[in-house]
Chain A
Amino acid sequence: MFTQQIRTWLASLSPDVLSRGLQIVLTLVVGLFLVRVLAVVTQRYIMRKSTAQRQMIARKAISYTGFVLVVVTVLGELGVKLTALLGAAGIVGIAVGFASQTSVSNIISGLFLISEKPFTVGDVIRIGTTTGIIQSIDLLSIKIRTFDNLFVRIPNEKILSSEVTNITRFPIRRMDFLFQVAHGQDLSHVQDLLAEIARVNPWSLDEPQPVIVLNDFKESGIEILLGLWFSQADFLALKNSIMKDITSRFSAEDVRFASPNRVIRVVEGSL
């Protein structure tokens, strides 16, 4: 029934209108398809040696520009006067701009982020309590995948006004371990043990040298800082292994970790 109606409607159209309509549909479909192909080819082949961020920017620039061109062409085919449309778009743009200040602010922040490059796609960053890998940097927001596989969208405006830590910016980092050993331990021996633990650990760099600092007198023991340099890729391996190494070596050498304790002295005759 519905098909029959469409056939009747198509038959009622003049051949000129029909061919014009077909031309518009073809322009739209082929144009959008070509834009898509061009964006993919640019990303995968022409810019394959560029960074992921540059590939993403190029792809989006081609997609948005291509889409606008196709729409403008289709509107031209439909007989819409573009000069009047652009004038109207300018007025509408100002109205929309005032109405959506946050979005405009995000867009401007996004442009700053792209030009300043505090991070790129693939970097691991920490913003507030969120830590994850950057998946895309867009005009309005950045998208992050956290290590427990959550998708987080952060508006660009917020990023520009927040403290951002780029964890993977430099190839090596220092991992700090802060712990306490009980009072009364031979601290020189503890320092030697920690230096030995760092030396034999395959993921700890021997240069820059490990940092071993007797940090502070605490209520229950002496606080020690052990700082080990490592290559970004070895983060987990070092973290897991060094905790085991310290525990086993301290146990073998009878070095005691501090635990909260109180000495209660009862003075004879005071009770």
Chain B
Amino acid sequence: MDKTGTAVWDRIEISVRQCVAWRFPTRSIWVERVDHEWHVLTLAQEGWRGNVRREPVARSQKPESSLWRHYLHKEMGPVQPVAVLPDKPIVVRPDRSLTLLPGQDALFFLEIPVWFRLCTTVPRHLTIFEEAITVLTKTWFGDPVTGELCYGLATRLHQGIDSVDPCAHLTVCPLSITNDSTTDLAFEKICLHVENLSVFRSPRRLWTNKLNVVFRGPEQGTQIEIDREAPGFEKGLTMFAAARQPSPGWNIRKTFGILKSFTDF
């Protein structure tokens, strides 16, 4: 029953009085079936260095806590853990400032922490609970009146997939940026509407749709296109979690921090 890597997201049958734990670097999640209820406990943990894994837990070993939550669901059947993207946009701040010269394009791979969602499968898919595995800071993108509340994420900009270590609680977002303007594009932060992205799964990694961002200059705004298909950087990808809010397609959004200067902020 022990699983590691993306196999921790496999469907699992939990029988009555059985407890299972998912161990992530920043959070552990215990799920126990008791009669007609699912009992759930999630605890944040710092400094844990083991591999992501799923393991059975003896009832005597499960943590004593007043934070156990109970969800009533009479039907028995397997449960499906699902990796979903956060519920708000993410403002990504690269670990180093990067300037894209006019006419240049670049492909980056960003690692975005996923949330853990547990669903029933019988008689239909119902969300039992969902929770962030890694708690991100909150941030504001735009001016204080018309901007939006986002999560902040400081991350490394990988320019090749080989430098991205496979990790079951991080999803890889391929991001293509084209500077189609006559000015330099200082890539200090970018706002990603991850609620428009789906999650795909391979035996090694989790992926999101590929994002194509075209910067046409501060006045024209930024065009963002989300590839409908699974990204082609790895074979055998299957759809794992649909987007929270499917995107209508091409849209123009305030995406780069550079646009702040045009809102008098």
Contacts and interface: CB of A to CB of B under 8 A. Distances in A.
Interface string A186-210: 0000000000000100111111100
Contact of B139 (A170, A171, A205, A234): A205
Contacts of B129: none
Given A170-B144, A208-B144, A231 B149 contact: yes
Nearest to B265: A208
Contacts of A171: 144-145, 147, 149
Contacts of A231: 138, 149
Contacts of A172: 140, 144, 147, 149
B149 A206 contact: no
Interface of B: 91, 135, 137-141, 144-145, 147, 149, 152
A202 to B, nearest CB: 6
Interface of A: 170-172, 199, 202-208, 229, 231, 234
9 contacts: A171-B144, A172-B144, A202-B135, A202-B138, A205-B138, A205-B140, A206-B138, A206-B139, A234-B138
Given A171-B149, A172-B149, A231-B149, A206 B137 contact: yes
A30 B147 CA distance: 50
Contacts of B135: 202
Given A171-B145, A202-B138, A205-B140, 8 more contacts: A170-B144, A172-B147, A202-B137, A204-B138, A205-B138, A205-B139, A206-B139, A207-B141
Contacts of B141: 207
Contacts of A204: 138
B12 to A, nearest CB: 30
Contacts of A202: 135, 137-138
A69 B166 CA distance: 73
Contact of B140 (A199, A203, A207, A234): A207
B145 A170 contact: yes
Nearest to A173: B144
A227 B90 CA distance: 23
B93 to A, nearest CB: 9
Contacts of B149: 171-172, 231
Contacts of A234: 138
Contacts of A170: 144-145
Given A170-B145, A172-B149, A229 B137 contact: no
> A-B pairs with the 3 shortest C-beta distances?
A207-B139, A206-B139, A206-B137
Nearest to B154: A206
A229 to B, nearest CB: 7
